[in-house]
Chain A
Amino acid sequence: AAGGPKPLPSSGPKSLREMPHPLATSSSEEMGPALTPSPDLLLPRSIADKDLSLPNGTPVDTSSPASSSSLLNRLQLDDDFDGETRDLFVTVDDPKKHVCTMETYITYRVTTKTTRAEFDLPEYSVRRRYQDFDWLRNKLEESQPTHLIPPLPEKFVVKGVVDRFSEEFVETRRKALDKFLKRITDHPVLSFNEHFNVFLTAKDLNAYKKQGMALLSKMGESVKYVTGGYKLRSRPLEFAAIGEYLDTFSLKLGTIDRIAQRIIKEQLEYLVELREYGPVYSTWGGLEVELSEPLEGVSACIGNCCTALEELSEEMTEDFLPVLREYILYSESMKNVLKKRDQVQAEYEAKLEAVALKKEDRPKVPTDVEKCQDRVECFNADLKADMERWQNNKRQDFRQLLMGMADKNIQYYEKVCGTA
């Protein structure tokens, strides 16, 4: 780490490895895990620090607009956030049902383990329900409009069709919520968001929420920032390409979702027939003594086939389909971020044009236009960086998902083979 690149003073989080020891000499022997300083001493101000935010509430890097992307590049070179360098761990587990007079709902335990300075304690354990996650996501979208916020599992379920309190539904939701928090944890900017911090640590989240509502009325500008009402002439090529990619991507995922559902449906219909098929062999065996042994054997084998098939269909429903749907939701929210970016760029171009039309010779570009330019460049940089990270994660996620699908099918055949 001694020979590593010097980090910018106001840029974001560092991995512990990269941090130079204040007492470090050139010799490496004195560097050891025991001498690694606590993050409190060295961690520079986080991006999420309120001092650095714009008047409208948007937190922004005060150094050059490109810094967050170059920062990310550096981190990516270091194989960012693998097990050893991570300093924040979040898990969602232990779903519990709560029955109150007004309603019944499920809470999940959110456990946090961290060495970061932003957290007062190294460990936290709180209980949260779905609306809390939903609140968090909205807050993140508001406060980090230039970033891609991971999706939540679907909010509404048709009552009567899906049992909100069934084990399978709750478990599927829990996995998705866990994924959601982990994705935020992995993000170099989002994980330092103050709302995220409160979500993980506050005993009474509702009190904080109410406080936030009061502040919102003061931040009328933030709404304006997001809905500019300007029209963009043309999207830059690279973002147009991203847009097109997302369109095709979500289309293909939708198709895969339908195919997977169809397969499950066909498998269940096959199962129905198999359930009738097996016992007939038993009946036959009852009528013919000499053949009863092999016939009973066939019957039992078919029974095992049924069990294995049921397991396969269940696993596909619970593990495979939700991830597909999650990515479709992700694509949708990403397209919205692209649109917001367009808005920001449109505003900048409009203001620039307005200035150009004024005949006064101004040596200096007005700060208003400068600010817009900043915003555009920030947005572009953040978005690009996030897209790269998203692409990488997506590749890994799908690799795992599809390998999982192949595995489940292999296991099914192995189970049937074993009994045959």
Chain B
Amino acid sequence: MEDCLAKKMEITVSEAEKRTGRNAMNMQETYTAYLIETRAVETQSEGQCAPVDSLWRRYSEFELLRNYLSVTYPHIVVPPLPEKRADFVWHKLSADNMDPDFVERRRIGLENFLLRVASHPVLCQDKIFYSFLTQEAGWKEMVNETGFQLKADSRLKALNATFRVKNPDNDELQSVISHLLRVRARVADRLYGVYKVHGNYGRVFSEWSAIEKEMGDGLQSAGHHMDVYAASIDDILEEEEHYADQLKEYLFYAEALRAVCRKHELMQYDLEMAAQDLTTKKQQCEELATGTVRTFSLKGMTSKLFGQETPEQREAKVKVLEEQIQEGEEQLKSKNLEGRDFVKSAWADIERFKEQKNHDLKEALISYAVMQISMCKKGIQVWTNAKDCFSKM
């Protein structure tokens, strides 16, 4: 396998910190900065560890990096970033970007993003990516100097709607996953409610035990187990959020995949336009050369009305057209080649992505099942303990 960066370098997003600063409009803002730590993986000699390099980045810089990568490598399914704003929340989860739980999950998501990029055979070799990890100062300027924004096709966004209408199938997967995430959030919400209400048993059993003689101890200790039960749901659902994050990553990945397809469609569109243009020019050339008018043109009409051009004029025009045609043909050739290359490399990357996602999702589903089993086992444990207390009543 290719030597990707991930193998040579340990990358972690180890910390998150709240910062205040001034934004572009000189207004005060609060944002979170994330600490990226890198260390070269060396074959251990004398048990020495390489020194750790670190720098701070905020979410917007990650976004900049990803945009750069998307534009520079249009045929690659670029790994997605964790969500910008908290979506698919249920009542306990905060939609606040500053909420510590959200920040923590985002930290993990950003680390995941970097690791995915570093493991990609093509993306990991990008210099801008490398400097993102290693060079704190001046990175932004470096990215902007590449001029990638110029390459970014503004038409892409405008044509999104058209393509959606043409290809409804692509959307089905994304809508199913979105639906899944929404329902899962509601399920989590309800489950939370069920567990928490059991906590009330703890209190009332305790109060009841105060008036009982023989039953008192059993009730009291059983009540304690009800409290444990009610509290256990917090950890369980926190773990499940991790699963939800994996599904979200998949959802965003699907979006990235669609972006690649659309870029290809745009390329096709450009190609068709170029070909059409070339055909028109060739026709014009022919007309001028033979003097026949096949197609209606204003020029043709005016020349008929106001007299024909001189042979020298005509020759000049033909020469210009011939030059343009030659240019056009070259362009068409290169565009064709570009298109074919794009398709080839995009296809390869899509295949790579498919394999990766099948593997990742299978793992995610398995770990979800394991989570559920663990939750059941905890439930059995608590209720068995409670039953034991009741038996001593």
Contact = CB atoms under 8 A, between A and B. Distances in A.
Contacts of B368: 298
A17 interface: no
A161 B380 CA distance: 35
A216 interface: no
B118 interface: no
Nearest to A285: B176
Contacts of B97: none
Interface string A267-309: 1011011101100110110011011001101100100000000
Given A252-B208, A409-B383, A410-B380, A402 B190 contact: no
Contact of B183 (A255, A256, A269, A273): A273
Contact of A270 (B187, B354, B377): B187
B208 A298 contact: no
Nearest to A408: B383
A287 B184 contact: no
B390 A273 contact: no
B64 interface: no
Given A266-B193, A414-B380, A407 B373 contact: no
A266 B190 contact: yes
B173 interface: yes
Contact of B186 (A273, A412, A420): A273
A410 to B, nearest CB: 5
A410 B369 CA distance: 19
B191 A270 contact: yes
A253 to B, nearest CB: 8
B147 to A, nearest CB: 39
Interface string A387-420: 0000000010011001100110110111011001
B142 interface: no
Interface residues of B, number: 48
Contacts of B369: 297-298, 301, 420
B291 interface: no
A298 B384 contact: no
Contact of B390 (A252, A266, A295, A402): A402
Contacts of B386: 402, 406
Classify the secondary structure of B's interface with A.
helix
A409 B393 CA distance: 19
B358 interface: yes
Nearest to A410: B383
Contact of B366 (A256, A294, A406, A412): A294
Interface string A229-257: 00000000000000001001100100110
A294 B215 CA distance: 48
A294 B390 contact: no
A248 B215 contact: no
Contacts of A395: 214-215, 393
Interface of B: 172-173, 176-177, 179-180, 183-184, 186-187, 189-191, 193-194, 197-198, 200-201, 204, 207-208, 211, 214-215, 218, 222, 354, 358, 361-362, 365-366, 368-369, 372-373, 376-377, 379-380, 383-384, 386-387, 390-391, 393
Interface of A: 245, 248-249, 252, 255-256, 259, 262-263, 266-267, 269-270, 272-274, 276-277, 280-281, 283-284, 287-288, 290-291, 294-295, 297-298, 301, 395, 398-399, 402-403, 406-407, 409-410, 412-414, 416-417, 420
19 contacts: A249-B208, A252-B204, A252-B211, A256-B201, A262-B197, A262-B200, A263-B194, A273-B189, A277-B183, A290-B354, A291-B361, A398-B393, A399-B218, A399-B391, A402-B390, A403-B391, A407-B387, A413-B377, A420-B376
